[in-house]
Each structure stands twice: as structure tokens, then as C-alpha cells.
Amino acid sequence: MADWAELPNAVIAHIANRVKVIEDFIAFRAVCTWWRISTIKEDFDVFLPQLPLLMLGAKDDDYREFYSLTKKKIIPIFLPQARGPHGGNRWSCIDRGVLSGNPSLTSDYVLMVHHYGPASCLVIWRPGDLDWTHIDVVNHGGVAALIYHKGEFYSMSYCGEVRAYQVAGPNVTDQPVVQTRLLAEIDAEMYDNQLNLPDVKYYLVELSGALLLVTRFANVTYDDPNSIFHTVKFKVSELDVIKGELKEEMKTLGYSSIFLGRNWASCIDSSKFDGIKPNHIYFTDDGLEYDRAAEGGAGKDMGAYNLEDEKFESFYPGESTSLICPPVWVMSSVM
């Protein structure tokens, strides 16, 4: 029988073209040196829908572990650059970033970044810019969520303000770089009072061309240092970006599921992935500011929420916590 490492280059590339899941493509290239040489990142269709991996809580070593929901297994990856804080002020950091396009496919894109330190700050950068353009958000309640949707950036503040940002092209000189408008004001008190004044967090996500607002309700005892952030309910509503108003609450996502957490929110078609349930919200801990003092750190508030019957279930067998970086969703890419 011929050695697998002796397969012709063209045959290996043809097989690689038929791999649909990026983690399988990475594993395929890792079989041996010849297979890695014979396949390039262009052999993988980057437009295929992908499922996020769960990056588990940080440990005191140079490896990070990633959990696959479809394969139900943990994948260790050597990642020394992700080990712990790297000096400076840990309260001065990048919170989230959003691109208007894929830099690998186009040079016509905008990067918007939210970072915080002494104050919350939103900035944008375009290819060719010599400096960042700053946007005032300090007086607008900070930034709880950020997304790019149909040609504009949108932010959600902690006090319920939704703002839209129109960014001019690099060659436009007769208008401001960024034009901002208040789109809507969401009143958290409009929700059920029976939830006993829970902590509220907001997420923006796109589904079938519509912009959705996901509201997460959690209980936490502020004067108890051992109290952890505990999610009790989610609500999903479509945000009408034309009228600037919130539509009625949605009770179904169809075959779609939402993945959200501290750094990210996205929607996927669950029918394309084994083991992923439709009409569910898969969430990771977003109460880092409350859970740091808890035993083991943050990461305990994690699970899947059925939007129809409002029940919770686990998707990870065990517990993964960290004082520095609790579990978060990551979308892998071919580099």
C-alpha cells in the first residue's frame, strides 16, 4: 500500500478543496509536511459558514484549549502570545473591534475599535489614515455592543442608546470623517418587573439581513463579594433602523442560533452543523467585573438558552474559569 505522504500534489489539493470545516482543514494540513506544502489557504473556501470554537479559560502556561461543539472534544494549541496580562494597566485595554470588510479580500474597509481606560473611547481607522479618528462616547453612556450592518456601524450604550455611524471614504474631504446620529433609546424598565431588578447587558447581531437587539438579564448581589453573575433570561427583538424603534419580541429564530459573550455576538444556521440546536442562544460568561472575586474567577455563567420554552442547558461538560480570561467564542480563520 502506498504511503499517504507520497500522494500526488494535485490529489492532495483536490481532497483539501472538499473540506468544509476550517478546523478539519487545519487538521488536514497537519497530517505531515508534504500535505502542508501541497495545500495553501486558498484551497479553503473562506465564504463557507463556520461555527465558532469555545476558547476555554486561561491557564498558567503557553497553551490555550479550544472546545469544538460538533466534535465534543478539546483542541490544545500552542499560543504563548495569549498568556496572561502583558504589563501596563489591566483596566486600559481594547474591548472589541469591528471591520466593515475582510482586509484579505479588499483594501476598502474601515476598522472601528472600542477601548477603555480612564474613559471609554471609540475610534476608527481606514487604510491610508495616519492616525485614528476619535468619536465621543463618554457622554453617551459608553459602548455595550458594536456591529457593522448594511453600510453603517451601530453601537449600543449601557444606558440604552443606539447610535449609527456613517464613515466617509478616504477621498471625501468636504464632510466630516464620521457622521453620528441617535437612532433609538431603549428603556430597560419596559421589561418585566418580576425579574427583580437584574443586571442588563445588550448585544447587537444580524439575522437574515435584519438587525437584532438581544437583551440579557442576570441576577447579581452587588454587596456580596462571592456573588456571581447569573443569567436568568434573554429577550430578542428586531431593531427597525429606518424608523428607529424596537419591534415586538421574537419567540423564534427559525433554524438559526445566536452565539454571544463578552467580546462577540453572531448568528449561524444551525442546520449546517451537527449537534447545534435551532432557536437557541449559546452564551459565555459576561460578568467579569462581578466574578473576579469569586472562587476560581469568571466563567461559571455559561450555557444554552431555548428561546421558545425559556429553559437552560449545558453545552460544555465541566467547568472552565479564569481570573484573567474566562471562556470566549472565537471564529477561526485560515492564515
In a domain, residue 62? The reply is no
Measured between alpha carbons, how far is 139 from 92 in angstroms, rounded to an integer?
Answer: 19
Predicted confidence at residue 150, as pLDDT, reads 94
In-domain check, residue 250: yes
- Is residue 296 exposed (0-12), middle (13-18) or buried (19+ Cβ within 10 Å)? middle
Distance CA 147, CA 158 (A): 15
Averaged pLDDT score across all residues of the chain: 83
Whether residues 200 and 335 fall in one domain? yes
Query: What are 63's strand-pairing partners?
Result: 78
**CB burial of residue 280 (10 Å; 0-12, 13-18, 19+):** buried
Residues 125 and 169 in one domain: yes
Domain residues for 120? 85-185
Residue 90 clears pLDDT 60, i.e. is over it: no
* pLDDT score, position 192: 46
On whether both 121 and 15 belong to a single domain, the answer is no
Q: Does the structure show a pLDDT above 60 at 115? A: yes
Check whether residue 224 and residue 310 sit in a common domain: yes
Domain co-membership, 25 together with 154: no
Average pLDDT over residues 33-55: 79
Identify whether residues 234 and 318 lie together within a single domain.
yes
Q: Using the 3D structure, point to which of 129, 159, 185 is the last residue of a domain.
A: 185
Q: What is the CA radius of gyration of the chain?
A: 21
Residues in the chain: 335
Express each pLDDT in 205-257 by its tens digit. 999 999 999 999 988 765 665 667 789 999 999 999 999 888 989 999 999 99
Cell of 146: 458594536
Rounded Cα–Cα distance for residues 299 and 297 (Å): 7
Q: Are 234 and 261 contacting, i.e. CB atoms less than 8 angstroms apart? A: no
What is the per-residue pLDDT for 100?
93
Considering the domain architecture, whether residues 290 and 332 belong to the same structural domain is answered as: yes
Most confident of 22-26, 76-80, 81-85, 169-173: 76-80
Same domain, 229 and 276: yes
Q: Are 231 and 253 in a shared domain?
A: yes
Is 205 domain-assigned? yes
Q: What pLDDT does residue 335 have? A: 45
| Conformation bin of residue 251: beta by default, left when phi > 0, alpha when psi is -120 to 50 | alpha
Residue 59 in any domain: the answer is no
61 inside domain = no
Same domain, 151 and 175: yes
CB 218 within 8 A of CB 243: no
Distances (CA, A) of 135 to 95, 96, 99, 125, 142: 15, 15, 16, 11, 11
In this predicted structure, what is the pLDDT of residue 165? 94
Q: Which residues pair with 265 in a beta bridge?
A: 260
Give 322 or 220, the one with higher predicted confidence: 322
Residues 232 and 322 in one domain: yes
Q: In what order do the strands lie in the sheet with 133-135?
A: 93-99, 111-116, 120-125, 133-135
> What is the reported pLDDT for 194?
45
Note the Cα 329 to chain centre separation in Å.
Answer: 6
Mutual angle of helices 9-17 and 22-29, in 10-degree steps: 160
With contact defined as beta carbons under 8 Å apart, do 213 and 156 qualify? yes
Q: Which residues pair with 200 in a beta bridge?
A: 217
In a domain, 260, yes or no: yes
Q: How many domains does the chain have?
A: 3
Residue 76 is assigned to a structural domain of this protein: no
Q: d(Cα 163, Cα 146) in Å, to the nearest integer?
A: 10
Within a domain: residue 50?
A: no
Q: C-alpha 287: how far from its chain's center?
A: 15
pTM of the model: 0.86
Same domain? For 180 and 199 the reply is: no
% of the chain exceeding 90 in pLDDT: 37
335: its cell numbers: 492564515
